[in-house]
């Protein structure tokens, strides 16, 4: 009888925990005509609604109608990816003499933290004020997707003034050193999520170097200048203006210029859509940014029945360098217990 009682208690408690784990909601932040929505599934950005130069409101973020659709996607629309964003070559790395094998979910490599990275877990809502911020937290366990140590993670989305969105990502290892590299994987289209491709968007990117990759998109370890290549966006030009030289589009990490003032964020990029007049500026404290032109999108059914095709959006994912765990010359992503990982992003939206 005792065994049956214990079994019944276990079933009841498991059911309660399961019910709690399935509690997924949507949280809106709003100031005037500027609003954004998020969910605690993957700490995902669902929408950003902005006026254009005539006052017309549009959602400028690609995504789905239902939160449930984000649970089965392979696009990482709007998600926080980690524990280590981007790729880890060979799905393994050595730390303090120990070889760690991570989940190989991209051929023989690890992409965005593995098959069930931070984009595919339910986060806890720690704080929410509609006109201010929402904070999500997640407790990552030792061995999750192959990564060492327990890790406490939080992400805060904040509205600043009437046209700025700030993102604060923090992580604290509890018992072991571990690599940490979080990224926000939002797909933007400043003309509106359903306005077609982003080829005519004008981009200025504040990076003079890239980390080139092999055929599997794993960095070679080199850092090379963009001068006289299709990767050079130091002066504003249309995103699609050199696709004749780069037919598959962009999916590369840029080395960002350091801020001229200590403790100031680095300027990442300025993007303008001339027809509607929307302009987006981005700053960060991270050393790199992945510029991606949604090369892998193909007939993806999104919001309001929109079908997203190739190059329907662009991503500017501020980050540490890809595969840094296997390249000692790249800035280290190892965070030790008592250390804190801090990643800041600030978007400013205007019209002209």
Distance from C-alpha of 217 to C-alpha of 118, rounded to nearest angstrom: 21
Q: What is the pLDDT of residue 12?
A: 37
Binding site residue list = 86-87, 185-187, 251
- 51 forms bridges with which residues in the sheet? 57
Q: What is the pLDDT of residue 22?
A: 54
- DSSP state string for 43-107: TEEEEEEEE-TTS-EEE-B---SSGGGGGS-SS-TTEEE-SB-SEEGGGEEEETTEEEEPP--BT
- DSSP state string for 198-215: STT-EEEE-EEEEE-B-T
Q: What is the pLDDT of residue 305?
A: 95
Q: What is the pLDDT of residue 16?
A: 37
* Residue numbers annotated as active site: 185, 317
Binding site residue list for beta-D-galactose = 86-87, 185-187, 251
Distance from C-alpha of 190 to C-alpha of 324, rounded to nearest angstrom: 31
Give the length of the chain: 352
Domains of the chain, CATH where assigned: 26-351 (2.70.98.10)
User: What residues contact 134, with CB distance under 8 A and at least 6 apart?
Assistant: 27, 29, 38, 125, 127, 128, 156, 157
pLDDT in tens, the chain (352 residues): 344 334 333 333 333 343 344 599 999 999 999 999 999 999 999 999 999 999 999 999 999 999 999 998 899 999 999 999 999 999 999 999 999 999 999 999 999 999 999 999 999 999 999 999 999 999 999 999 999 999 999 999 999 988 999 999 999 999 999 999 999 999 999 999 999 999 999 999 999 999 999 999 999 999 999 999 999 999 999 999 999 999 899 999 999 999 887 778 999 999 999 999 999 999 999 999 999 999 999 999 999 999 999 999 999 999 999 999 999 999 999 999 999 999 999 999 999 8
In this structure, are residues 53 and 276 in contact, taking their beta carbons and an 8 Å threshold?
yes
Q: What is the pLDDT of residue 243?
A: 96
Q: What is the pLDDT of residue 20?
A: 46
Distance from C-alpha of 199 to C-alpha of 189, rounded to nearest angstrom: 10
Q: What is the pLDDT of residue 10?
A: 36
Whole-prediction pTM = 0.92
Nearest residue to 86 (alpha-carbon basis) of 335, 334, 336, 320: 320
Distance from C-alpha of 225 to C-alpha of 205, rounded to nearest angstrom: 13
Q: What is the pLDDT of residue 15?
A: 37
Q: What is the pLDDT of residue 139?
A: 98
């Amino acid at each position: 009888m005792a065994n049956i009682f214990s079994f019944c208690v276990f079933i009841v408690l498991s059911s309660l925990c399961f019910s709690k784990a399935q509690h997924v909601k949507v949280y809106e932040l709003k100031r005037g005509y500027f609003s954004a929505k998020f969910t605690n599934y993957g700490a995902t950005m669902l929408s950003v609604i902005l006026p254009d130069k005539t006052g017309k409101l549009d959602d400028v973020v690609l995504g789905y109608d239902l939160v449930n659709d984000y649970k089965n996607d392979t696009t990482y629309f709007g998600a926080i990816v980690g524990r280590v964003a981007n790729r880890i070559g060979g799905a393994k790395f050595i730390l303090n003499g120990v070889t760690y094998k991570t989940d190989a979910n991209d051929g023989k490599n690890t992409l965005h933290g593995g098959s069930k990275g931070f984009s595919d877990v339910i986060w806890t809502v720690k704080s929410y004020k509609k006109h201010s911020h929402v904070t999500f937290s997640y407790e990552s366990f030792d061995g999750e997707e192959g990564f060492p140590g327990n890790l406490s993670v939080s992400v805060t989305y904040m509205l600043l003034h009437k046209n700025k969105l700030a993102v604060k990502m923090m992580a604290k290892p509890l018992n072991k050193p571990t690599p940490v590299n979080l990224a926000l994987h939002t797909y933007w289209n400043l003309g509106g999520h359903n306005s077609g491709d982003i080829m005519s968007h004008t981009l200025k990117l504040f990076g003079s170097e890239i980390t080139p990759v092999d055929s599997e998109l794993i960095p070679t370890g080199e850092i090379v200048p963009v001068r006289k290549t299709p990767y050079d966006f130091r002066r504003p030009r249309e995103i699609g203006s050199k696709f004749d030289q780069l037919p598959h589009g962009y999916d590369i990490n840029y080395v960002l210029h350091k801020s001229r003032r200590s403790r100031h964020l680095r300027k990442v990029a300025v993007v303008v859509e001339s027809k509607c007049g929307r302009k987006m500026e981005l700053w960060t404290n991270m050393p790199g940014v992945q510029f991606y032109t949604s090369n892998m999108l193909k007939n993806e059914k999104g919001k309001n029945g929109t079908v997203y095709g190739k190059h329907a959006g662009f991503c500017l994912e501020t980050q540490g360098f890809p595969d840094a765990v296997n390249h000692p010359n790249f800035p280290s992503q190892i965070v030790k217990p008592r250390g804190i990982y801090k990643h800041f992003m600030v978007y400013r939206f205007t019209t002209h």
